[in-house]
Amino acid sequence: MKGIYTFGLALTVAAGSTYAQNGPGNPHATAKLQTYTAEPTLMGTAQHPLNASGVEREVLFTENFANGLAGNNGFGGWTASGPNGDVWRYTHTGPNGAYNNLNEKITSPTVANGFVIFNSDSVNTNFANNPPTNIEPRASLTGSLESPVLDLSATPAVEIRFSQRFRFCCSDNTPGHFLDVSTDGGATWPTRINVEGGVQDNDDSGNEVFAVSLLGAISANPANVRFRLTQDGANGISAYHWQVDDISINTLPPNEIIMENAFTSQFGGGYEFGYVPQSQMLSTIDVGANIINYGGNPQTNVVVNVSLKNASNVEVGSSVITLGTIAAGDTMPAEAQLTLPDPTNVGIYTAFFTMVSDSIAEDNNTANNALQRVFSVSDALYSIDGIGVYPTAIATGTQVGTNSFTDNTQDVRLLNYFEVHTPATFYGVEVALGSTTAAGSFFSVSVYDTTDVLGTPANLSNSFAESEFHVITTAEKLARKARVAFLDPLPLAEGAYFVSANMYQADGHNMFIVDDTTVPQPSIASMLYIPNDEPANQNLYGGNGTAWGVRISTDASIGVKEVKGLPGVSMYPNPTTGVLHITTKKAETTTVVVRNVLGAVVKTATFNGTENTIDLSGNAAGVYTVRIGNGSNFAVQLVTLK
């Protein structure tokens, strides 16, 4: 039996294996990934939940940096500390350096007065060159910016709030940006708060407001509070920047309870599948939420209610999760097993999460007291992504393809995790195509055991199933969807697997697959393989907590395989010393695949026309199989390379 990985193990396996998606600082990226929607997600994701403005509050401290590091707060100036504390600077111009994007300047309310920045990329740039160039080896940087000492003893129930924009690389995706809090004037810093809010390695956070309660952090001695902004380079951060402005400390509302996130995990482990075949659904589903008491008062008799409804808005299951009392400043998880109908009919289901407490009527902001999750029980499709399931108003995503990473236009593989709980036969794969996919690009698909993908080292040469190469047609490009069958039906026993879409550029025509970012996923839910990865030589990367649009299917009609019998094909000279001419009877899009005697692919190409050439130079002398197909028919010939 194949192992089914739990959430905790998934994070452990993928540690140090997150990948950087978009440039210019990513050494693998040629361009920023394209966004196909930009709506804010309302599904309860890892976005920081404490950004909602509330009722009128007393403002105890403000800093807009109009006077630079000398301070404009009425209490005193700011102090740089740590090995690279001097990297914290006051500026009006924003990030600069060999990799930085000048368009990523913070857009805080008082940006015209200036702001502070920890500009890692600037330190690692040689500005004597034109244009500026990267300095190697890059230095990882650690530095803090410390506030003046504050007496908050009269009102210890406070929050801190500030505008920020950041981007970091190249760490293992563990946190590197923190708010530290001291209650002894800065002699010790016992409280460390991650301010990254789930933003991934190499992604621009965009302008955001970070807010967090300090009630618990300063209770030891609220009369002697100091806080600092710290970039910790211990995790390898050498780029790009962290910009901060408009810091304030405000009193908390008396009552504010927040549902930070919610989840519907069909099989546990944190995985939330957008599509699950009816045959794979179990009798229960794991549901839960994370509840934060962000007010100054304790919340008593807190209860989370979960109602699962079908597309007709009929409740088909429910759970009541009793949490009891949540102290001010505390967070409490809620989790339960919700019983499903037997069977769970095919269709779209929405889980509605709500909560109540003794003080819910006095809650400061009731808009953050409820969330939803959506998934589909399908006839055949099985996938982590929920493209086409999540409502358009809340769906977000990007696309990844054959020009997303430098020197990786061929065999870029996107792998999705899935679990088989009832033995089933799978027939092929469907992919959700990115908007800039070009007809003429092509792909194949593979299925792997998790032990091969997650092994040390990973082994992607040992697949359970393969497909033929499939050329993207104009009709598929317009439909934003392509399907391909396995060479043979694939029966799978109970266990955990990966399905991979392997993308190829052809004659400058690129293929892209949608990356669904609506719901945060465990790090191995979607993985990336790039064949050329200098200088890291890692090749296989854990995911960015998102979901590729790569779906495996139990639909026997998912694709009609090509049949042998493509007339009018000739290849010469045979034997050849390298150059091989291929002619076809009809001018159409064709794909050529060359394999050695072991079956390994040594050359691929896509042509449009009747006269084409490939070069086998550099391969070992011997006999090769040359296959040419047009998507419906194919021909195979043996060619000898001298």
Phi/psi at 453 (5° precision): -70, -40
Segment holding 63, helix H or strand E: strand 59-63
What are 136-191's pLDDT values in tens digits?
A: 888 999 999 999 999 999 999 999 999 999 999 876 667 899 999 999 999 999 99
Q: Which two tokens stand for residue 361?
A: 């009527």
pLDDT at res. 244: 98
Residue with tokens 């040629």: 30
pLDDT at res. 172: 61
pLDDT at res. 533: 81
- Cα–Cα separations (whole angstroms), residue 174 to 15, 121, 207, 227, 528: 9, 19, 21, 22, 18
Q: Which amino acid is at 43?
A: M
pLDDT at res. 56: 54
Q: Is the pTM of this model over 0.85?
A: no
Q: Which two tokens stand for residue 69?
A: 């590091």
pLDDT at res. 171: 66
The gap from C-alpha 452 to its chain's centroid, in whole angstroms, comes to 22
CA angle 351, 355, 360 (to 5 degrees): 155
pLDDT at res. 636: 81
Alpha carbon distance 560, 545 (integer Å):
34
Residue numbers in the chain where pLDDT is lower than 50: 1-55
**Local structure of residue 8 (DSSP, 8 states):** H
Alpha carbon distance 36, 440 (integer Å):
22
pLDDT at res. 293: 94
**Local structure of residue 139 (DSSP, 8 states):** P
- What DSSP string describes 199-249? PPTT----SEEEEEE-TTTTTT-GGGBEEEEEE-GGG---EEEEEEEEEEE
Alpha carbon distance 506, 526 (integer Å):
25
pLDDT at res. 544: 75
pLDDT at res. 8: 27
pLDDT at res. 457: 87
Radius of gyration of the chain (CA): 28
Q: Which domains does the chain have, with CATH numbers?
A: 7-38+395-553 (2.60.120), 59-251 (2.60.120.260), 257-382 (2.60.40.10), 563-641 (2.60.40.3080)
Closest CA to 54 of 330, 296, 256: 256
The gap from C-alpha 384 to its chain's centroid, in whole angstroms, comes to 12
pLDDT at res. 606: 84
What are 311-324's pLDDT values in tens digits?
A: 999 999 999 999 99
Handedness of CA 22, 28, 31, 35 (dihedral sign): negative
